[in-house]
Chain A
Amino acid sequence: MNTVVQKSRFGVAQIILFLSISILVVVVAVPVLLILFNAFWVNGKFNLNDVIRIISEPDTWQALMNSLIIAAGTTVGSTIVGTFFAWLVTRTDLPYKGFMKGMFLVPFMLPSFIGAMAWKMLLSPRAGFINKFFMTYFGLSGPVFNIYSYAGIILVEIMYLFPFVFIQVCGALERMDPTLEESARISGAGLFTITRKITIPLVLPSILSGALLIMLYSMAHFGTVAVLGIENGIFNIPTLIYQRIHQSAGSFSSIRTGTVLATILVLTAAFILWLQGKILSRGHYQIIAGKSFRPMELKLRTLRMPLFIFCIAYIGFTIVLPTVVIFLVGGLKTYGLPFTWENLSLENYKFILFKYKVTRDAIWNSVTLGLSAAVITMFAGVMISYVIVKMKVRGKGILEFLGMLPFSVPGSVIALGVILAWSGKYGVNLYNTVWIILVAYIARYMAFSLRANSAALEQVHDSLMEAARVCGASMWQTLKDIVLPLVRPGMLASFFLIFLPSLRELTVSIMLYAPTTRTIGVAIYTLNEDGETVVSAALAGIALIIIVTGQLLVERFLGKKAHR
């Protein structure tokens, strides 16, 4: 492509580059810069002392520590759980491994704040169904487990985040060349030595990289802490930002606290991503052959059935039980009644779908916002990745840097950023409209689209495009006839990677909603907060049906390859 001579100074390439840069600048860079600016500049002057003062305020400091405690606990727990199950389904003779593997990936689909709600119903200290059961039938004087605690929050997060490690480690264990282990065995090494010297070093990068992803996610995680922590004074960074912005009247000092906290989140995220890149690029760990050998299976022998039962129990306890509880509570006339036939009906579900304007609006808003964000982000993503991956024009470096930004900006930071940028201070006021949520969604999901589209574009060899250009096709024709058809699976994948998660989005929309612009997530959360537990559970049930159906359809039509 170096050899391509541009006919004029403003050819298609320049236009595409210009468009790409402006999209990223407007949607992502400006909000983030405004946050940094508001955090460090006070009255037009750079002021670091004030930042330190804000951080050392007891509430802020506590939130920071809580974020760290929760993220650390969740990371360690999820890594252990994820690695153990990954090993179990890839390297042992556990029965029904395929089914198990599928089930362990289900938590990926489930919105964790809905899970948190279910666990609140099951394990709140006095009224939780499990606690009540034990207190009534076994005469316990106190609850078995209080979900409103650090341990409760961490356990719920582990349940919904461990697939990050699970999927990475499964991949590594499956791709690993078993001859390495075999040769060690032939040389006389025992199982323990093989595990220590061969297996663990080989999968360690995958474990660490999955663990860091969880750390990143958990630091910036809103839903679980909002449902289980706020009431008992446990705040982490995103929930404190939310509380400050929503409840202290948008005053300057609360916005500043928000921006300082957001800056900390961005810096942590950048550090984690840098560390992850570092670990993944450590070449000597990557002795994983591309060919698919059938790895040696460990015979579990007497442990086979107990472990199988353990897995089934785990799936039943963490996936089936909360889902069933949500649907059952959604069917109750009012919260607190026992689950008997006369107390259960479909009334709440009918009310939500056909009568209640708030929930009907919410479903409509989420679907249209998701569709629009997915389409816009898909097209913008393919254009930007094209510039980054394929084009060699001046100014591309800026774009590469800008393209990295969405990966390291958590949802609550984006929300705060768009409030700063689009609420009238700079001429455009989108606050309280659906557009501000759309802009935030585009910024939030740009990373997904860039990842999927870059991967697809990297598989299109340059020679194809060069051939087209040699045959006299214009740049536009080449794009249209060669590149686009080849990256279509990547584009479709990015569409669904955005559309499905946006249906259950909470972190961004909770900071931006207005009376008529609630999303499904916001409606569930606010109804739950208002004490309309049964209605919010019913809506959560409907959301689960929409999300799971969508996911199944995608997997069916796109097949595994395009999907991940």
Chain B
Amino acid sequence: MRNKSITLSIVLVSIIVMIFCGAAFAKDSLIIYTSMKESLIGGIVEGFIVKYPDVAVDYQSAGAGKLMAKIAAERESGKILADIIWTSEVPDFYSMRKEGILEQYNTPLINEILNPFDDYDGHFTAARLGTLGIAINTDLIKTPPAQWSDLFKPEYKGAFGIADPALSGTSFMSVGMLEKQFGWEFFEKLHANQARIGKGSGQVVDDTASGELAASLAVDYITNDKITKGAHIALYYPPELLMAPSPIAIFKGSPNLEAAKKFVDYLLSHEAQVLIAGEGTLSVRTDVSNQEGFMLPEASEVLARAIKIDYIDMMGRKEELIKKFTDVLQGRK
């Protein structure tokens, strides 16, 4: 009995020592904060590791709002943990550039891609053209929506969801664009039809698939991923198109600067962009076309049809926009 317990404690102690050593000697790795979901970022990181086996990569996938909060907290404590940020909330990148926390990196690949930013200067580069449309549950909605105003119809009553713009970057961008195009009147009418504020951009799509919502404002690849898995949903684009480019940027003072640059270039490369197109969203490369089977508009068409918006103006109005949106949809004046 005594020997047993001594052996037991020795085993336990050595396990702990092993853990401690493991933690101490872990490779210094490239850390990516991204709002891309696992289905998109997972494959890309895998491909990158195959190409650069000597670089260790860790990533955290969460809503843009949460990531920015985390970064702000980390700045407060003195050190940003992440080397790279890749989300779809463009105004955040403008404000980070203004605050001077982004590293300037003029990628040699810039001429091979569609650049949606007129004032491109290397602080951030678009790595994907995200589109948003209306995802419907095909069991609940029989006639596909053709206009944004279709959402005021009775079949969407109490069952149309928009992700919380405080959590989701794409949702914030969409609210800004829809407000610019149609004014707050659009959201007041949505409220009259009892539209709901959901949580993140992934959850509204899942809720649409489950039937908790009949339809939602949905991001292309999240919806297409579920459609591929057999969910009873479909994605439709009204004529006024919502497009949110997803910029990638490197933080100033990153200890893994070279690896970070490699990652940015990899992400813009043909190989990674094919992966991006394969997940049901739009590549920024002119030589990568949409994967067949997804109901996606062509990239050139997207750039022409998209609602234009002034990102710098949006940057200053972030809090106000979110508050106003929440107030309108919750019926507060």
Measuring CB to CB, which residues of chain A are less than 8 angstroms from any residue of chain B?
A: 124-127, 132, 230-231, 246-251, 333-337, 343, 356-358, 368, 371-372, 375-376, 423-424, 429, 431-435, 485, 488, 514-516, 526, 529-533
Contacts and interface: CB of A to CB of B under 8 A. Distances in A.
B203 interface: yes
B60 A515 contact: yes
Contact of A531 (B58, B76, B204): B204
A514 B231 contact: no
Contact of B200 (A432, A434, A531): A531
Contact of B210 (A336, A356, A432): A336
B198 A533 contact: no
Contact of A334 (B15, B60, B70, B231): B231
A408 to B, nearest CB: 28
A250 B72 contact: yes
Given A530-B37, A530-B203, A334 B230 contact: yes
A336 B231 contact: yes
Given A371-B16, A531-B203, A124 B212 contact: yes
13 contacts: A247-B69, A248-B69, A249-B69, A249-B73, A249-B76, A333-B229, A371-B16, A375-B13, A424-B78, A515-B60, A515-B81, A530-B203, A531-B204
A234 to B, nearest CB: 14
A132 B140 CA distance: 13
A149 to B, nearest CB: 15
Interface in B44-77: 58-63, 65-66, 68-70, 72-74, 76-77
A485 B5 CA distance: 9
Contacts of B76: 249-251
Given A250-B73, A514-B81, A336 B211 contact: yes
Nearest to A531: B202
A126 B211 CA distance: 7
Interface string B1-39: 010010000001101100100010000000101000110
A72 B236 CA distance: 47
B206 A532 contact: yes
Contacts of A246: 66, 69-70
A321 to B, nearest CB: 18
Q: Which of B16, B63, B229 has the most CB of A within 10 A?
A: B229
B209 interface: yes
Contacts of A368: 15, 19
A334 B16 contact: no
Interface of B: 2, 5, 12-13, 15-16, 19, 23, 31, 33, 37-38, 42, 58-63, 65-66, 68-70, 72-74, 76-78, 81, 137, 159, 166-167, 198-213, 222, 226, 229-233
Given A250-B77, A433-B23, 9 more contacts: A246-B70, A336-B210, A336-B231, A431-B77, A514-B81, A515-B31, A515-B59, A530-B62, A531-B205
B222 A424 contact: no
A530 B61 contact: yes
B69 A250 contact: yes
Contacts of A533: 206, 210
A335 B78 contact: no
A336 B232 contact: yes
A221 to B, nearest CB: 20
Nearest to A337: B230
A488 B5 contact: yes
Shortest beta-carbon contacts, A-B, top 10: A250-B73, A531-B202, A249-B72, A336-B209, A515-B60, A531-B206, A531-B203, A127-B212, A334-B229, A127-B210
- In the complex, which of the residues A247, A249, A336, A516 has the most CB atoms of chain B within 10 Å of its own CB atom? A336
A488 B3 CA distance: 13
Contacts of A248: 69
Contacts of B59: 515
Contacts of B38: 356, 358, 532
Contacts of A532: 37-38, 202, 206
A239 to B, nearest CB: 13
B13 A335 contact: no
A335 B231 contact: yes
